[in-house]
A and B are shown apart, each in its own frame.
Chain A
Amino acid sequence: MKNRLRVLRAERDWSQADLAERLEVSRQSVNAIETGKFDPSLPLAFKLARLFETAIEEIFTDGE
Chain B
Amino acid sequence: MLCSSKNPAARRYMWRFSVSMLLYIVFLVLAVLVFVHYRPTGPLAWLLAMLPALAIIGQIAAFGLYLAEEKDELQVAMGVKSLLWGIGGTLAVTVTWGFLENFVHLRHMDLMWVYPIFCMFSGLAFGLVQLRYR
Contact = CB atoms under 8 A, between A and B. Distances in A.
A60 B74 CA distance: 17
Q: Interface size for chain A: under 10, 10 to 19, 20 to 34, or 35 or more residues?
A: 10 to 19
B132 A29 contact: no
Measured as residues with beta carbon below 8 angstroms from the partner, the interface class of chain B is 10 to 19
Greatest chain A CB density within 10 A among B73, B75, B134 is at B73
A44 to B, nearest CB: 6
Contacts, number: 34
Interface string B51-67: 00000000000000000
A32 interface: yes
B101 interface: no
A60 B111 CA distance: 48
Interface of B: 1, 4, 7, 71-75, 77, 132-134
